[in-house]
Amino acid sequence: MINKVVSSADEAVRDIQDGMTLVVGGFGLCGIPENLIAALVRLGAKDLTCVSNNAGVDDAGLGLLLQTRQIRKMISSYVGENAEFERQYLSGELEVEFSPQGTLAERMRAGGAGIPAFFTPAGFGTKVAEGKETREFEGRHYVMERGILGDFSLVAAWKADRMGNLVFRKTARNFNPMAATAGKICIAEVEELVDVGQLDPDQIHTPGVFVHRVVVAPRSKRIEQRTIRK
């Protein structure tokens, strides 16, 4: 039987090399592959290009890789929670490509589907469109955006079986399904591993054909912005 489970996060990321492009799931600190990110810090791979909605915070998520100067370029939508990101960007240490959030999600999905480019109205007439091809369709202007295909994708799921079928939980699904398909090799960290056949086929969000490695790793589920009643 196919068994994609590896023994540890360090084993899962063992062949990520300097200069590679990583597509990383998550939204804020929700649904991020925190154990795989921590393993990357230990691995020490540098000059990475990371494609992710945001860069975590200063001491969590991709913010850890920024602290160790392992990221050369970020392709992101929102970066407002990370002071180190801001410092590196303004000082010229970090290259940044901003992408509208829906456009970024579609760039991941397109890359995973083998679609090299597509047209979207988002960003037309703004700095996002500078240097890009534009066209008019039925009286509306569109910007051409390229699909994204990384060397690896790192995602976090709720459940998986040994064949790599993934189930995400509620809002932790976010960018993860698109990110999973947008890497030549997909690594998934999961909270729970179940036997093959225990997952309802109708509830599988990412089929195992897209997933190459699975590691069972507990997550802290830190709250990014805590809001309570007075």
Domain boundaries, the chain: 9-117+148-216
Position 170 pLDDT exceeds 90: yes
Percent of the chain topping pLDDT 90: 89
pLDDT of residue 166: 98
Number of C-beta neighbours around residue 98 at 10 A: 16
pLDDT interval class at 224 (50, 70, 90): confident
- What pLDDT sits at residue 184? 98
CA atoms of 6 and 60, how far apart (whole Å): 24
pLDDT range class, residue 13, cuts 50, 70, 90: very high
Region 95-123: mean pLDDT is 97
Average pLDDT over residues 205-224: 92
DSSP strands (E only) in the chain = 21-24, 48-51, 71-76, 95-98, 117-120, 134-137, 140-146, 150-161, 166-167, 183-194, 213-216
Distance (Å, whole) CA 51 – CA 29: 15
Higher pLDDT, 219 or 54: 54
CB 184 within 8 A of CB 151: yes
Is it the case that residue 97 has pLDDT exceeding 90?
yes
- The answer to whether the CB of 152 falls within 8 A of the CB of 23 is yes
CATH of domain 9-117+148-216: 3.40.1080.10
Residue 82 above 90 pLDDT?
A: no
| Strands 166-167, 183-194: pairing kind | unpaired
Residue 80 has pLDDT above 90, yes or no: no
Contact 190, 166 (CB under 8 A): yes
CA atoms within 13 A on the CB side of 204: 19
3-state secondary structure 183-211: EEEEEEEEEEEECCCCCCHHHCCECHHHC
**Residue 46 predicted with pLDDT over 90:** yes
- At residue 224, what is the residue type? E
pTM as predicted: 0.94
